[in-house]
Amino acid sequence: GAVVSQHPSRVICKSGTSVKIECRSLDFQATTMFWYRQFPKQSLMLMATSNEGSKATYEQGVEKDKFLINHASLTLSTLTVTSAHPEDSSFYICSAGGQLNYGYTFGSGTRLTVV
Amino acid sequence: GENVEQHPSTLSVQEGDSAVIKCTYSDSASNYFPWYKQELGKRPQLIIDIRSNVGEKKDQRIAVTLNKTAKHFSLHITETQPEDSAVYFCAATGRRALTFGSGTRLQVQP
């Protein structure tokens, strides 16, 4: 079945630094990648949608200059949290959905802790 | 955009009993309704899904029903076991990103 590999699984960084999270589709081409954020005991909230080769579409309230998304190829999408602050600490998870893939494949998630 | 509401937020049942979780959605264009089980710190795992051209789907102890007219769908788990304890999320989409419900924490008491 479809597999999405997400790295790193856990990261601790200092306030003010940047962190890059990668999601790779291993056995299919992900034309679309969705990025979600999940705070403790809450649901998954969509942050942005990225399509290969074009700019990401951000949800209302998500700062595009802070959460940089790159989807340069059909198998790789990255989310960079710039100038991270403690309130950015969360579980970030990607989900791939190809044009012909009616289902959604999730990465394993990244637990970000900003200290 | 789509709005999905999920109830209850917590559910405690005795082992062997049934559990029912209900969701409503707002966008009549939504046509795909998956259910996910999420254990602490892990990715959501798809447990069952249903498309809008189907009213009911069953997979062993798990079943999902969909009422398009009323815009609600439900998850039914029969003969619950302690390993069913987790957080369950419903979701809906019309070929865009999934919109998730707020989640139900299911606790199955041995």
Residue where the block lists tokens 């579409």: A57
pLDDT value of residue B94: 80
Q: Do B97 and A91 touch (CB under 8 A)?
A: no
φ/ψ of residue A86, rounded to 5: -55, -35
Band (A102; pLDDT cuts 50, 70, 90): low
Contact check, Cβ <8 Å, A106/B41 = no
pLDDT in tens, B60-93: 999 999 999 999 999 999 999 999 999 999 999 8
Q: What is the mean pLDDT of chain B?
A: 95
The secondary element (H helix, E strand) that includes residue B3 is none
Find which of A43, A46, A101, A110 to mutate to test the B interface (most B CBs within 10 Å of its CB). Answer: A43
Residues B4-39: b if buried by 16+ CB within 10 A, e if exposed: bebeeeebebeeeeebbbbbbbebeebbbbbbbbbe
User: What pLDDT is attached to residue B56?
Assistant: 96
User: How many Å apart are CA B20 and CA A76, to the nearest integer?
Assistant: 38
- Rounded to whole angstroms, the Cα distance separating B12 from B3 reads 26
Residue that wins the pLDDT comparison between B102 and A53: B102
Residues 6+ apart with CB under 8 A from B92: B2, B4, B23, B25, B27, B30, B32, B33, B73, B98, B99
pLDDT tier at A104, thresholds 50, 70, 90? confident
A109 touches chain B (CB under 8 A): yes
The sign of the torsion formed by the CA atoms of B64, B67, B68, B70 equals negative
Position A70 pLDDT exceeds 80: yes
* Distance from the first to the final alpha carbon of chain A: 37
Residue A99 has pLDDT above 60, yes or no: no
Contact with chain B for residue A42, Cβ under 8 A: yes
Give the mean model confidence (pLDDT) for residues B3-19: 98
Q: Tokens 């969360």 label which residue? A: A90
Question: CB distance from B102 to chain A under 8 Å?
Answer: yes
Q: For residue B13, what are the contacts with CB-CB under 8 A and spacing of at least 6?
A: B19, B80, B106, B107, B108, B109
Would you say residue A98 has pLDDT above 70? no
CB < 8 Å to A108, chain B: 42-43
Cβ neighbours of A95 in B, within 8 Å = 97-98
Tokens 């003010």 correspond to what residue?
A16
Write down the pLDDT at residue B41.
Answer: 87
pLDDT tens-digit series, residues A1-49: 678 999 999 999 999 999 999 999 888 888 889 999 999 999 999 999 9
CA gap B88, B50 in Å, rounded = 16
Are B42 and A109 in contact (CB < 8 Å)? yes
pLDDT band at A83 (very low <50, low <70, confident <90, very high): very high
